């Protein structure tokens, strides 16, 4: 029996998306008998696993795809895309982005899309890597001048007494008019197309089930909300599980191409990869 390891983060949006798979509400109908094993790790760890092709199916940051494109294909479903919102830049005091030139800025991991966006849109800063849930602490403790914040921090930075300087998702939207691709779900190439389709359809069905069984999926997802209240927990989950998560469509694919083109133009990636989508 084949074991399919599925990597995703222990975050409210991923928990919401994978609710039906986790609870065996739907079956993964692959071309051979199988069982699945969920691997819950932070996105930076999953990115590092993907560099070595460890998991058969995994969430990754969109920014890391150019480094793993030879090993993985992108599922049309499962993408986390911001619709005029995304990672935010915060500090203790209000100031312009240009005033951060040369300053120390906490970043949530060098393989994250937030880090790539900061290098595209921010002035030249001294990037200091922290776990994503420690970047705001670094600002309040005066270890850095500002931070790029992802996940629930996009909603809770005010609680920490911090000020938003900019939303990188808004800057992206103004620049491109496209949704912002932050996270992807990918399948390893060596599984073959039948497995790619089976895993993609299972995830798409899981997302649809979450939409239809919203209260149950939200209640489950709130366990992974890292202390935020239920209202903001549901808000965060639905920020990144939306219609484009069910199927990114043409807009999502164009957004990925644009992200890689901008990164290549800045010399931040070695090559612009082919955006190889498993259409469902």
* 67-77 per-position pLDDT tens digit: 999 999 999 99
H/E run at residue 234: helix 230-240
Q: How far is CA 199 from CA 40, 46, 153, 188, 192, in A?
A: 17, 18, 31, 11, 11
Give me the pLDDT at residue 227, please: 65
CATH fold for domain 2-81+180-278: D-Maltodextrin-Binding Protein; domain 2 (3.40.190)
- Which residues, in sequence order, are CB contacts of 232 under 8 Å at separation 6+? 152, 155, 156, 225
- The closest of 274, 278, 279, 264 to 119, measured between CA atoms, is 264
Residue 200 — very low, low, confident or very high, per pLDDT cuts 50/70/90? very high
Superfamily of chain region 88-176: Periplasmic binding protein-like II (3.40.190.10)
- Which residues, in sequence order, are CB contacts of 235 under 8 Å at separation 6+? 155
- The closest of 113, 84, 81 to 242, measured between CA atoms, is 81
23 noted as active-site residue? no
Give me the pLDDT at residue 133, please: 86
User: Each residue of 146-181: pLDDT tens digit?
Assistant: 999 998 778 788 888 999 999 999 999 999 999 999
Residue of 8, 36, 111, 151 marked catalytic:
151
Q: Residue 180 pairs with which residues in a beta bridge?
A: 82
**Range(s) of the chain covered by CATH 3.40.190.10:** 2-81+180-278, 88-176
Q: At what angle do helices 230-240 and 214-221 cross, to 10 degrees?
A: 110
What 269-275 contacts at long range (C-beta under 8 Å, 24+ apart), as own/partner pairs, is: 269/66, 269/67, 270/66, 271/66, 272/66, 273/65, 273/66, 273/69, 274/69, 275/74
Residue 64 clears pLDDT 90, i.e. is over it: yes
Percent of the chain with pLDDT over 70: 99
What does the pLDDT average to over 100-119? 94
> What is the token pair recorded at 138?
């670094």
- The closest of 113, 170, 112, 106 to 135, measured between CA atoms, is 106
Relative to beta strand 34-40, strand 2-8 is: parallel
């Amino acid at each position: 029996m084949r074991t399919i390891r599925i990597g995703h983060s222990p975050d409210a949006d991923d928990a919401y998306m994978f609710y039906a798979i986790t609870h065996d509400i739907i079956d993964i109908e692959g071309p051979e008998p199988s069982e699945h094993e969920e691997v819950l790790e932070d996105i930076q760890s999953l990115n590092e696993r993907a560099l070595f092709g460890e998991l058969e199916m995994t969430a990754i940051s969109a920014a890391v795809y150019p480094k793993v494109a030879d090993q993985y294909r992108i599922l049309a479903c499962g993408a986390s895309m911001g619709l005029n919102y995304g990672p935010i830049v915060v500090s203790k005091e209000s100031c312009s982005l240009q005033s951060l030139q040369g300053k120390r800025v906490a970043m949530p991991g060098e393989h994250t899309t937030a880090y790539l966006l900061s290098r595209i849109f921010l002035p030249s800063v001294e990037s200091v890597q922290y776990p994503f849930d420690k970047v705001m602490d670094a600002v309040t403790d005066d270890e850095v001048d500002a931070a790029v914040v992802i996940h629930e921090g996009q909603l809770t930075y005010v609680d920490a007494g911090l000020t938003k300087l900019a939303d990188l998702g808004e800057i992206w939207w103004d620049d491109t008019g496209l949704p912002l691709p932050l996270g992807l779900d990918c399948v390893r190439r060596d599984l073959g197309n039948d497995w790619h389709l089976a895993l993609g359809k299972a995830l798409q069905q899981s997302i649809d089930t979450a939409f239809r069984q919203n209260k149950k999926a939200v209640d489950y997802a709130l366990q992974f909300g890292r202390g935020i209240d239920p209202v903001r927990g549901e808000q965060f989950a639905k920020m990144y599980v939306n219609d484009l998560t069910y199927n990114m469509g043409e807009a999502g694919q164009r957004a990925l191409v644009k992200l890689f083109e901008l990164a290549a133009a800045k010399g931040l990636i070695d090559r612009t990869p082919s955006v190889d989508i498993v259409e469902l």
